[in-house]
Amino acid sequence: MKITVIGCGRWGSLITWYLAGKGHEVTLYGRETSAHMQQFLATRQNDLLTLPDSVCLSTDLTKALEGAKTVILSVPSQSLRALLKEAPLRALKNPSFVLCMKGLEIESGKRLSEVVHEELPEGRVAVWLGPGHVQEFYAGIPNCMVIDSADKAFQRELISAFSGDLIRFYYGQDLLGNEIGAALKNVIGIAAGFLDGLSLTTLKGPLMSRGTAEVARLIKAMGGDPLSAYGLCHLGDYEATIFSPYSHNRTFGENYIKGIPYTALAEGYYTVRALRVLEIQYHMEMPICDSVYRVLYENAVPREEIDRLFGRSLKPEFYDRIREEKA
């Protein structure tokens, strides 16, 4: 398969390396102003991996897209819509996109597949989600991930072409739930970092349980399958997000508590803001995510937010199920 990967950060470069190793014809595109791209052009390396000679490197988007059967997007979530407005992408006929990003659009709260459909409605869209870090994949450590799409033929095509010994792909069954779950696990990752910074790591167990529960409730309210929150997109990605030293969101949260600047992208910082739109739209209460928002955007004191969560009214652990049974 002829593939173009847009985005030369750590995940885009890993995808390029992985798919080239699977025998696909891969072009990696990055802007000429990108320091990451300049490093690849000079050495074919970054600080995590080396790209094989078979990979074509390009800073010309039009040329990079020539003949591509599938376009993989791995860029910051908040830059997606602007990217899709660029002429070379708008000129594509019946494009096929794979989104390797986890986030929500800040202004609208929209899922990233929705953004693609709004900008390029004739395109096919899939999402590639789940756990794993570049450092581990490059070292040959396998993991499981999920690909989902409203176009099931496209989904089958991708999983057949991309699966291998290093990544076992599962067929996603709930595009909405998988996207929401993947986006919000980054918010939970920041909360985990807060706990690390406060030396309260014993609370990571409850964070995993209660965090998943409130994400599942949102997915259900939006019309998705709440079980998706317990799959690879969310709970299955917790080890890589909540515990790993490689997790940008966890590290951002820990550094925030300690007052240490952190310049790498932490998508959860933007996602928790976008989440406010969904909470209002679907009349949701999400206590953990709300506490993360208050700390990051309203200068709330982190330890006081924990006290606030502990001071909430007492209720059954699975109170949603009890309400349903009574109904």
Annotated catalytic sites, by residue?
A: 185
Taking alpha carbons only, the member of 216, 193, 217 closest to residue 203 is: 193
DSSP 2-26: EEEEE--SHHHHHHHHHHHHTT-EE
Taking alpha carbons only, the member of 131, 133, 108, 229 closest to residue 180 is: 229
Are 295 and 305 within 8 A, CB to CB? yes
N-to-C CA span, the chain: 52
* Strand extents, DSSP E, the chain: 2-6, 25-29, 56-58, 70-73, 96-99, 124-129, 143-149, 167-171
Residue with tokens 């496209």, as numbered in its chain:
154
Q: What angle do CA 106, 60, 265 make, to 5 degrees?
A: 30
Q: Which two three-digit tokens encode residue 46?
A: 């970054």
Taking alpha carbons only, the member of 83, 9, 73 closest to residue 40 is: 9
Query: 279 burial class (0-12, 13-18, 19+ CB within 10 angstroms)?
Result: middle
Q: Which two three-digit tokens encode residue 229?
A: 């929150």
Q: How far is CA 215 from CA 144, 185, 257, 279, in A?
A: 21, 9, 24, 11
Query: 53 burial class (0-12, 13-18, 19+ CB within 10 angstroms)?
Result: exposed
